[in-house]
Structure 1
Amino acid sequence: MTIVRQPTRAGVRDAAAKIAAILPQTPIFITEFRGIPVVFKAESLQPVGAFKIRGAWHRLTALDDAARERGVVAFSSGNHAQGVAWAARRLGIPAVIVMPSDAPRTKLEATLAMGAEVVRYDRATESREKIAAHLAHARGAVLVPSFDDPWVIEGQGTAGIEAMSQMIEAKLPDPARVIVPCGGGGLAAGLAIALPEAEMVVVEPEGWDDMRRSLEAGWIEPVGDNPPPTACDALQTKLVSPLTFDVLSRRGALGVAVSEAEVREAQRWAAAKLRLVVEPGGAVALAALLAGKVAVEPGLLVILSGGNADPDAYARVLGSKD
């Protein structure tokens, strides 16, 4: 019987030590809502513009020399792609990234600029998982999933270790409730492991809220047929993994869905109040807060998970008032 490695809090702490050795902490911003300080963790300010660098670094540094020589394969619309490409270049590992043909141009160009090979696919008719698995098998490479991997989950959880220490330093309460964007659930699961005393609230775009429905049902529910278009390209995961679902289900995590208009409002708020560029998928947790879908209480931590916004689309959002 094959024993599947599980992500652990000890693994998160190991990952945190690795990441602290190469990257500065992303800053926190503190803003009051109804007299209560709310903490925003700006993962949008990572070197690749998103939290994905954390899991990629922890996963790739865990590879032995033989595996590093054979290379890695990943699939992503852009943020995990950049995280893997960044880590692979720093470690001298060949990297192939499977990206959808409609991936934002800025994410594609950044991935290529870091030396990764990119294979395109049609999001509507092809399976990125099958393409990546075939490439990994053909090349003898290691497959690095964007969320369905214990090392990746542990790496993402390091954002929680950082936030905890920063909140203590700011003389704020420990994280009691964390609002976090959710695609496949790797970041949310990592934070749940890193911050076992905090309530977890995962946020997804409407129509793509399969983790919310899965948590409510008690079993994994896929995204329905013909899901609506969404600007949240980073959160278009059609089926969450047993690994992330199990972590979040056991922790009693709650799920919330937000509309496209609420996401745009969150992007505008982040620009005006925090002076931060936040991409649609990275803004959904903030959107849930601003829309009143999550209660404000002391120790509230909101994750701004990415800032790789398409320049033209972002300009349109800032110029609109919906």
Structure 2
Amino acid sequence: MSSDLPGPDELAAAYAETRKASRVTPLLDAPGLAAQIGAAGLWVKAENLQRAGSFKLRGAWWRLACLSEAEKARGVVAYSSGNFAQGLAAAGREMGVPVTIVMPVDAPEMKRRATEGFGARVVLSEHGERPREEVASALAQKIAADQGLVLLHPFDDPRIVAGQAGAALEAMEQLGCAPDIVLCPVGGGGLMGGVALAVRAANPAAEIWAVEPAGYDGMGRSLAEGARLKVDGGATLCDALQATMPGAAPFAAAQAAGVKGLTVNDAEVRQALRVAFETLKLVLEPSGAVALAAVLAGKVQVTGRTVLVFATGGNIPFDRFAEILQAEQA
């Protein structure tokens, strides 16, 4: 394992620190769904109920906690399509760290408003036909250089990976054991990296799956090839999972932990949103539902095994949520 990867001691230290700010999110037992898919047990970690609506607060808090006092005073800048933006803005407000967020102009308005509501300055980026995350990243780098701000990456940072691991550590505390199978949504891979390191340390035999939307399976393809690859993207419901290449730090963590990748399509995501709402009483955004979608679609052999699924975000306007479910019925 790379020496740059956070070890168990850092994961534990990050978890101890982030617990000061994070909410203990429910670990939902879903016996009906477990019976439906043949699993011994199915548990859903409802990180959509985390403060600011996603797991992102965990990594953002630890990253800011690692800054020097001078860096905190200068302020930070990052790019995000919404969920990291909200988590970082919320953490910055509580820590007294000024936060600037570069957000693609077509990012959900609800996420932009919420980020501003936490006190962050939002700068919109116009990307045209270019990949929106790449354009937003370039603008964030320019702002950091011009204004002397500390540049933070939303996922490609070992400290972000360490902070996000708290979601898995907390879930295993609640479960009382390490699961046999874990499925986790992946955009750039920050959560996946942290989850993979935490779960692999607890259960060397666990299956760990990175779940991505079709067209944005950069992590899965990279793991299969043994090197980071860039993908082409395309249309997807999963607006928060549009990274075209996994981060170096998350990829190294996932590779070291023996993670494998799989994809889901929009129809499978719609079905997962409906099941989460009707069965688990959870409102998820499409990006937060991809791991559940993979389980429900039978993409992993779960017979007789204990399965942990991460539901990662719930930042979606009601009208959009209803529109997606109505399209699923059509």
Shorter-normalised TM-score: what interval? over 0.9
Name the aligned partner's letter for residue 61 of structure 1: A
For the 8 Å contact 2:23–2:51, the answer to whether it is kept is no
The answer for the alignment partner of 1:291 in structure 2 is: 297
The answer for the alignment partner of 2:171 in structure 1 is: 163
The answer for the alignment partner of 1:229 in structure 2 is: 235
Displacement of 1:122 in angstroms is 2.5
Name the aligned partner's letter for residue 272 of structure 1: E
Find out whether 1:43 has 2:47 as its counterpart: yes
| Counterpart selection for 1:300 from 300, 303, 307 | 307
In structure 2, what is the Cα distance between the partners aligned to 1:166 and 1:134? 43
| Counterpart selection for 1:240 from 238, 242, 246 | 246
* Paired residues for 1:249-260 under 5 Å: 249-260=255-266
The answer for the alignment partner of 1:200 in structure 2 is: 208
- In the superposition, the TM-score normalised over structure 1's length comes to 0.94
Displacement of 1:256 in angstroms is 0.6
In structure 1, what is the Cα distance between the partners aligned to 2:318 and 2:212? 22
In structure 2, what is the Cα distance between the partners aligned to 1:192 and 1:133? 29
Find out whether 1:135 has 2:169 as its counterpart: no
In structure 1, what is the Cα distance between the partners aligned to 2:256 and 2:113? 39
SS at match of 1:219: coil
SS at match of 1:234: coil
SS at match of 1:146: coil
Task: String of CA shifts for 1:146-178, please: whole Å, max 9, x gaps.
Answer: 11011110010000110011001xxxx522211
* Paired residues for 1:168-179 under 5 Å: 168=176, 173-179=177-183
Task: String of CA shifts for 1:84-121, please: whole Å, max 9, x gaps.
Answer: 10000111111100101111111010001111111111
For the 8 Å contact 1:212–1:256, the answer to whether it is kept is yes
The number of residues matched between the two structures is: 314
In structure 2, what is the Cα distance between the partners aligned to 1:85 and 1:281? 20
| Counterpart selection for 1:209 from 204, 217, 221 | 217
| Counterpart selection for 2:193 from 184, 189, 208 | 189
SS at match of 2:165: helix
Runs of 4+ residues over 4 Å off in structure 1: none
Task: String of CA shifts for 1:231-290, please: whole Å, max 9, x gaps.
Answer: 111100011122111111122211011000100110010000010000000000000000
The answer for the alignment partner of 1:21 in structure 2 is: 20
For the 8 Å contact 2:161–2:249, the answer to whether it is kept is no
Find out whether 1:267 has 2:273 as its counterpart: yes
For the 8 Å contact 2:209–2:261, the answer to whether it is kept is yes
In structure 1, what is the Cα distance between the partners aligned to 2:305 and 2:298? 16
Q: Which runs of 5+ in 1 are unaligned?
A: none
For the 8 Å contact 1:9–1:154, the answer to whether it is kept is no
Name the aligned partner's letter for residue 16 of structure 1: Y
In structure 2, what is the Cα distance between the partners aligned to 1:145 and 1:8? 20
Work out the percentage of aligned pairs sharing the same amino acid. 44
Task: String of CA shifts for 1:12-37, please: whole Å, max 9, x gaps.
Answer: 11111112223331011011223521
Name the aligned partner's letter for residue 27 of structure 1: P
Name the aligned partner's letter for residue 28 of structure 1: L
Name the aligned partner's letter for residue 46 of structure 2: A
Find out whether 1:112 has 2:116 as its counterpart: yes
The answer for the alignment partner of 1:74 in structure 2 is: 78
For the 8 Å contact 1:202–1:253, the answer to whether it is kept is yes
SS at match of 1:238: coil
In structure 2, what is the Cα distance between the partners aligned to 1:279 and 1:93? 28
